[in-house]
Structure 1
């Protein structure tokens, strides 16, 4: 049997200082969890980052991360190599991927990198996937948690690692559950020497069907209908021909 290739996926989320890279907003948190063959491995990448600029007040209301809390954190350049090593060659699973990938490419461009995230990894956008599966419905992360029964009770504020962990559960549920399709043969087939069990057929007693005969009025109505069909079909009523 040919050896199967493992599928490695990284569920990723970021938090930022604001909404647009055009205003030079920066990444302040990256959270990643690893899936191999659709199973959580327990491997994660999580890092808070000093953006070297102020965080918008509106963004703080969303994620609760303040400028003061990031003052002693590394800048993006200090964590870039470790981050690239963690995601290298994997499929990235991201909700609203254009946002996060755009910010990651913005950070690498500021470091002088010409390659983009899409050159290193393939990207699956779970927002697009959800919209295809549930058109016309809310498809944000909270709505998907409710739809698929994923516990998000700890999500009072957005957080990159927490949201990545929640998204991993949502993705697995949305694409069929956390089940490997390549089960070992011994899990599908009983051992050859397994004890055989006799299977008996259960016969349920049947009572005779009650036959209800048509009365004279019903027989007359039936005959009248046949004669009407005979007249309308130029004498070709099959029921009268058989009688």
Structure 2
């Protein structure tokens, strides 16, 4: 099952008021585990970044000077997203901004049936509790100490861990399977040799056991056909 964890950073909160995307990041999951495949782009918003937005994500006008415009990254972004479900924390916010940018670039908006809102899932699981990404990391024991400011690719990686826990946590064997997948090819079955180690019973003990069973158990099931050994043992 392929899914995409996505995050954006923007110049503000309202695409309808002219706010724009300045960063897009996405992380690929297969069966809830990151594969290592990512998409990450800084974007020239074609407008000034307000100081209050810079205080949130740390990006200034100078940081984005010379970066590609959204229309120039749209095709690569859509190719990475494919047709997979898209997981985002407060997903309507990210979808709203991406839809505005896609429309501006002459492309259709994202299909809302693909939207998976991890914030809504968290609110259902932890009603009445703080459910920001930071709060969920603390609650679920996920290290977010490196998150001094909003950063889309880091937030995606943290959200991937949070989402796994929201979906029921790590299942036994998943980490082993992932390590095998990344470590290289698995040995073919025919290359593994096994040495049989039969348990040998001394003859006198076998005779004594047979006598004991004969005296205590009448018509023992395992001595009746088809279970009883034939002439070949």
- TM-score, normalised to structure 2's length? 0.73
Q: What's 1:22 paired with? A: 16
Alpha-carbon distance between aligned partners in 2 of 1:150 and 1:194, rounded to the nearest angstrom: 45
Q: Structure 1 residues 43, 195: closer, same or farther in 2, change over 3 A?
A: farther
The structure with more radius of gyration: 1
Q: 1:175 aligns with which of 162, 167, 172?
A: 167
Please give the residue correspondences for 1:136-151 in structure 2 after superposition, counting only pairs within 5 Å.
Answer: 136-151=128-143
Is 2:71 the counterpart of 1:97? no
Alpha-carbon distance between aligned partners in 1 of 2:197 and 2:19, rounded to the nearest angstrom: 65
Q: What's 1:233 paired with? A: none
Structure 2 unmatched ranges of 5 or more: 178-193, 200-233
How far does the alpha carbon of each residue in 1:10-30 deviate from its partner, in whole angstroms, 9 at most, with x for none?
100000011101211100001
Alpha-carbon distance between aligned partners in 2 of 1:138 and 1:159, rounded to the nearest angstrom: 20
Structure 1 unmatched ranges of 5 or more: 1-6, 185-190, 197-243
**What SS does the aligned partner of 2:158 have?**
helix
Q: 1:43 aligns with which of 37, 41, 64?
A: 37
Alpha-carbon distance between aligned partners in 2 of 1:148 and 1:70, rounded to the nearest angstrom: 34
How far does the alpha carbon of each residue in 1:74-132 deviate from its partner, in whole angstroms, 9 at most, with x for none?
0001100000000011111100001000000000111122x22126x611100000000
**What SS does the aligned partner of 1:117 have?**
coil
Please give the residue correspondences for 1:124-163 in structure 2 after superposition, counting only pairs within 5 Å.
Answer: 124-163=116-155
Q: Structure 1 residues 169, 194: closer, same or farther in 2, change over 3 A?
A: farther
Q: What's 1:84 paired with? A: 78
Aligned residues: 181
Is the 1:150–1:170 Cα contact (8 Å) retained in structure 2? yes
Q: After TM superposition, give the deviation of residue 164 of structure 1 in Å.
A: 0.5
Alpha-carbon distance between aligned partners in 2 of 1:147 and 1:101, rounded to the nearest angstrom: 26
Is the 1:9–1:35 Cα contact (8 Å) retained in structure 2? yes
Please give the residue correspondences for 1:198-237 in structure 2 after superposition, counting only pairs within 5 Å.
Answer: none
Alpha-carbon distance between aligned partners in 2 of 1:132 and 1:195, rounded to the nearest angstrom: 55
Alpha-carbon distance between aligned partners in 1 of 2:126 and 2:102, rounded to the nearest angstrom: 34
